[in-house]
Structure 1
Amino acid sequence: MRMSKKVAAILTGLTVGAMGQAYAADADSFTDVPKDHWSYEALDYLAREGVIEGMGNDTFQGGRAMSRYEMAAIVAKAMQKGGGNFGDKAVLDKLSAEYAGELDTLKKRVDAHDKDIKELKEKAERFQLHGLARVQMGNDNGLKNDGYGGDYNNRFYMDLEGSLKVNPYMTARFTVEKNARFRDREYLTTQVVKTKDGQAYTVNRTVSGEDRDNVNNDANHNGSISNIWVELALGKNHDWYTNIGRKWNGIGMQNLLLGGQVDGIATYHAIPKGHGWWFSAQYFKPSADWSQTVETLTKNAEGIYEVTDTKRYTNRAPIAGVLDFWGPLGKYMEANVAYARVIQHNLDENDTNSGFYSGAKNFYGIDLKVKPVKDLAITGSFVKSDADVNKPYNTWAQKGHANRDLAVKIEYKGTDINKVGSYGLYAKWVDLGCLADLGHDDEWATREPTGINGVRGWYYGFKCVPWKNVEWETMYANLTENTNNSWAGATTHNRRILRSWLDFHF
């Protein structure tokens, strides 16, 4: 019987493996097989074909006795290399029969190892962590003009996000956020002080870096679990994607109608035959509840005021239902249309708002994104509510367009954290009232910490990826803000913000 070159190489490999000869280091495939050795060509061929691997350190070690299991492994690999097309089938069949017992044992070992690897992979996938660490610096002259203070300029920030897989269609998720601010002079807290005769006034107290990062001063960014929710894939085809719990939620392309933490449920589903359109139905309550204590002071016989009654109120944000639709309008345009209805409000019998959102019942939002040329996108967003600025509980709000939000964003290119050197430019103009949305915590944290009731102006920004998984962004804003509240009075001031940060994604 005439053997092919491939089968001859296999038999040579088996022969060399069983021989008691040692070789000097000088070959390509194995450092201990010289090119002038009679077995070099066969061994080099088998190594390049993946039939033999040597000892894992670039040596073949031909002087070591080969076990029957090692011979069986070589036969098995040869049989896998193209089946009957690799070499002479008759010879391979004989080798297979000779080492049948060892091949069966090897198969059982491989199956056991594959099972262990699969189980280990499933366990690893059940719990995953990712997020970002941020180093941020900047300057904000608006901190001295608002009623609260606040510092989102100079800080170390971490967003840690975790997922725990329950089964293929259920995943529990959570987030942990931590702010560590490092410039105390930019943070003030307002404290009410009562004198001996019962008169009250407010003073600004400085707070140390250690204290202001705790739960009392920064409830959502103090290192505790800030959000926890469950993601479900429901329905016969598991294509009704549903969230239940507390999480950050945004509605609209620029999150004008809603951009903040909520408690509730939301489901998302592609519209059948909708040409790429989706819809979402949501039922939630913004988690920005707050409590207050009201004390009644009465003058006693000595002419000194004493606390004679104390009432505590919990002001809960209203419960809302939302329908949201989004999808493409042709090749170069996308749209988002949303409607929200307040289902349960916190107004008392005297039509006094003891909750939030100034009695508004209906909210409407529309977004349009256009890509006129490559790498350029323009997004316009409009939000309107039926809040009445003439109601007594809205006297703190500025008149005019308090129940309307407008924003236009122009973007050129964008970043990809996996692509070093990618970059993006943007400019954004806003005219935001205080009664138009269900809740806001805007992307640059330039609106929420200030307690203002209206903002107008421009943002300009640049971002790039200097290293893989690292994004650098710098933003400048020139804004006009309105303040009209019981502690600061009616004022209008200019606010200029310069902020730069590095995000390290992991």
Structure 2
Amino acid sequence: MKKTLVSALTTALVVGAASTTFAAANPFSDVPADHWAYDAVSQLAADGVIEGYGDTTFRGNQNITRYEMAQMIAKAMAKSDVSAADKALIDKLAAEFSDELNNLGVRVSNLERNADMVKWNGQARYRYWSQRYEKENGSKDKKNKDQLTFRFEPTAEVNANWHVKARIDASADPSEDGSANMAVKRIWAQGDYRNFQVKLGKLPLASTETAGMLFDDQFSGAQLTFGNKLKATLEAGRWNLANGANAQSAIKRAADSLDDAANYQGIMLNGTTGKLYGGAAYRHFSSAAFTQINDDASSDDANLWSVGAGYKFDHNWDLSGAYAKNTEADTDATAHNIQLNYKGAQKANKGSWGAYTAYRYMGQNVAFAPLYEMFLTNSGMNNVKGWEVGAEYIPFTNVLSKIQYFNGKKLDSDRDAEGLFGQVNFFF
């Protein structure tokens, strides 16, 4: 808020403090540049304190009510960059219009409250999976699943460097007449500094070096990232195997009975140079559940090594690949992927679209909780290899539609595996 805002509010108070209305002016089509209030009203409009009508006018010569004046004061109270003198004047205005402000839900006793400190984003999402597996006798085992999810992602400002972030999901099975399961999936404090970032709490566990081939989940602990074009990330904490591991995997079943959480430490390196980007990582987990999949049945470790790289040919074409291995597991211990992307859907750009084709080899004892929608934790498909194609489209602003198809083999039986996935997102 600038001094011009205070001047305009002061003028308004002087003109109309003794009555229920007062005159106002503003810089729209009916406020010429030579008008005495042009500069002040321009600043008010820029600060978001006042706004005009849909026909580009503000009709500043007509009277406004005390309630409308209170709305202006409430917006002024939300500003943080004010001098001591300006704040004192706003306090006086707040006292004069306290009844109207209380009706607006503004707590006059907390004049330094900043309305912009908490921001809310979110989405409503529908997802559908249809899967076909070849059985030993050659017949097909069919599995269909769909899910509705409502997600909130609030961000609260603590100060110039620190924010608190969260993700709250409410998910339901549309085929059942029941209530949604709501959970706080993530909540963490994040400090951002020049070439340095720290996160503390329940925060994302993401294998960015492999573009999500291994993980898109959350863990409880701490993360430290530093660097510019080359970034190093250190992580340590606990990962919930029972909730995060692939639904049909041996490690998931063992976690349910032996140990549902694993101690975790990891280090990642990611960098870019020109059109080339890539990264590498090492992650160590320890839990009794890993004894069920390891060469050495007494070992409760999982040691994951991974690398990934990609090249952006131009604005439309992007080729990437990744490889990972769990050096402790005796079977299904590797994963690799190569993917070619064309264009990409942008949710704010109606009519934008993208498509891709990929080959995926998803060993279940290393690709524990991948980002790929076809193989998500709750999808029921894992431990497969094969080809996948997909496309996405923005039919309306902030509405994303997506479809994917996979055709391949199960790694443990070499029998056919086929999947179809569809998704619609409404962002807000």
Compute the RMSD of aligned alpha carbons.
Answer: 4.3
Aligned to 2:278: 335
| Cα 1:47–1:334 shift into 2, 3 Å | same
Aligned to 2:75: none
Distance in 2 (CA, whole Å) between partners of 1:46 and 1:467 is 42
Q: By how many angstroms is 1:364 displaced?
A: 1.0
Aligned to 1:440: 369
1:156 aligns with 2:148: yes
Q: How high is the TM-score relative to the length of structure 2?
A: 0.66
1:502 aligns with 2:416: no
Find 1:462's aligned residue among 379, 387, 391.
391
On the 8 A contact 1:150/1:450 being kept in 2, the answer is: no
**Please, which moves more after superposition, 253-262 or 424-433?**
253-262
Q: Once the two structures are superposed, what CA deviation does each residue of 1:178-222 show, in whole Å capped at 9, x if it has no partner? A: 222223xxxxxxxxxxxxxxxxxxxxxxxxx145x66xxxxxxx2
Aligned to 2:260: 316
Aligned to 2:34: 46
| Cα 1:366–1:249 shift into 2, 3 Å | same
Aligned to 1:205: none
Aligned to 2:288: 346
Distance in 2 (CA, whole Å) between partners of 1:502 and 1:352 is 38
Distance in 2 (CA, whole Å) between partners of 1:347 and 1:469 is 42
Gaps of 5+ in 1: 1-27, 31-42, 65-104, 184-208, 215-221, 291-311, 390-398, 484-490
| Cα 1:178–1:150 shift into 2, 3 Å | farther
SS in 2 for 1:123: coil
1:428 aligns with 2:358: yes
Find 1:387's aligned residue among 328, 334, 337.
328
Distance in 2 (CA, whole Å) between partners of 1:358 and 1:418 is 49
Aligned to 2:230: 277
| Cα 1:436–1:60 shift into 2, 3 Å | closer
Distance in 2 (CA, whole Å) between partners of 1:465 and 1:280 is 34
Aligned residue type for 1:505: F
Q: By how many angstroms is 1:498 displaced?
A: 2.5
SS in 1 for 2:375: coil
SS in 1 for 2:211: coil
Find 1:231's aligned residue among 173, 190, 197.
190
On the 8 A contact 2:240/2:262 being kept in 1, the answer is: no
| Cα 1:49–1:241 shift into 2, 3 Å | same
Q: By how many angstroms is 1:283 displaced?
A: 0.8
Aligned to 1:364: 305
Give percent identity, aligned residues only: 16
Q: By how many angstroms is 1:319 displaced?
A: 1.6
1:262 aligns with 2:219: yes
Aligned to 1:218: none
Structure number, greater radius of gyration: 1
Q: By how many angstroms is 1:223 displaced?
A: 1.5
Aligned residue type for 1:269: F
Aligned to 1:179: 171
Distance in 2 (CA, whole Å) between partners of 1:372 and 1:210 is 49
Distance in 1 (CA, whole Å) between partners of 2:341 and 2:352 is 14
Aligned to 2:114: 123
Q: By how many angstroms is 1:453 displaced?
A: 5.9
Aligned residue type for 1:331: G
Distance in 1 (CA, whole Å) between partners of 2:298 and 2:427 is 36
Pairwise mapping of residues 190-205 of structure 1 onto structure 2 (< 5 A)?
Answer: none
| Cα 1:408–1:113 shift into 2, 3 Å | farther
On the 8 A contact 1:452/1:481 being kept in 2, the answer is: no
On the 8 A contact 1:143/1:450 being kept in 2, the answer is: no
Find 1:135's aligned residue among 116, 126, 133.
126
Aligned residue type for 1:167: N
Q: By how many angstroms is 1:450 displaced?
A: 5.9
| Cα 1:57–1:364 shift into 2, 3 Å | closer
Aligned to 1:472: 401
Q: By how many angstroms is 1:266 displaced?
A: 1.0
| Cα 1:358–1:373 shift into 2, 3 Å | farther
Distance in 1 (CA, whole Å) between partners of 2:420 and 2:278 is 32
Q: Once the two structures are superposed, what CA deviation does each residue of 1:62-97 show, in whole Å capped at 9, x if it has no partner? A: xx9xxxxxxxxxxxxxxxxxxxxxxxxxxxxxxxxx
| Cα 1:112–1:281 shift into 2, 3 Å | farther
Distance in 2 (CA, whole Å) between partners of 1:455 and 1:497 is 11
Aligned to 2:334: 404
1:168 aligns with 2:155: no
On the 8 A contact 2:188/2:202 being kept in 1, the answer is: yes
On the 8 A contact 1:387/1:435 being kept in 2, the answer is: no
On the 8 A contact 1:258/1:440 being kept in 2, the answer is: yes
Aligned to 1:286: 239
| Cα 1:47–1:414 shift into 2, 3 Å | same
SS in 1 for 2:356: strand
Distance in 1 (CA, whole Å) between partners of 2:87 and 2:328 is 72
On the 8 A contact 1:440/1:448 being kept in 2, the answer is: yes
On the 8 A contact 1:337/1:366 being kept in 2, the answer is: yes
Aligned residue type for 2:396: W
Q: By how many angstroms is 1:240 displaced?
A: 2.8
Distance in 1 (CA, whole Å) between partners of 2:38 and 2:369 is 60
SS in 2 for 1:440: coil
Pairwise mapping of residues 90-101 of structure 1 onto structure 2 (< 5 A)?
Answer: none
Aligned to 1:243: 199
Q: How high is the TM-score relative to the length of structure 1?
A: 0.56
Distance in 1 (CA, whole Å) between partners of 2:311 and 2:317 is 8
Distance in 2 (CA, whole Å) between partners of 1:317 and 1:324 is 22
On the 8 A contact 1:414/1:424 being kept in 2, the answer is: yes
Distance in 2 (CA, whole Å) between partners of 1:333 and 1:106 is 52
Gaps of 5+ in 2: 1-27, 42-51, 64-84, 95-100, 244-255
| Cα 1:49–1:123 shift into 2, 3 Å | closer
**Please, which moves more after superposition, 165-174 or 44-53?**
44-53
On the 8 A contact 2:206/2:216 being kept in 1, the answer is: yes
On the 8 A contact 1:462/1:473 being kept in 2, the answer is: yes
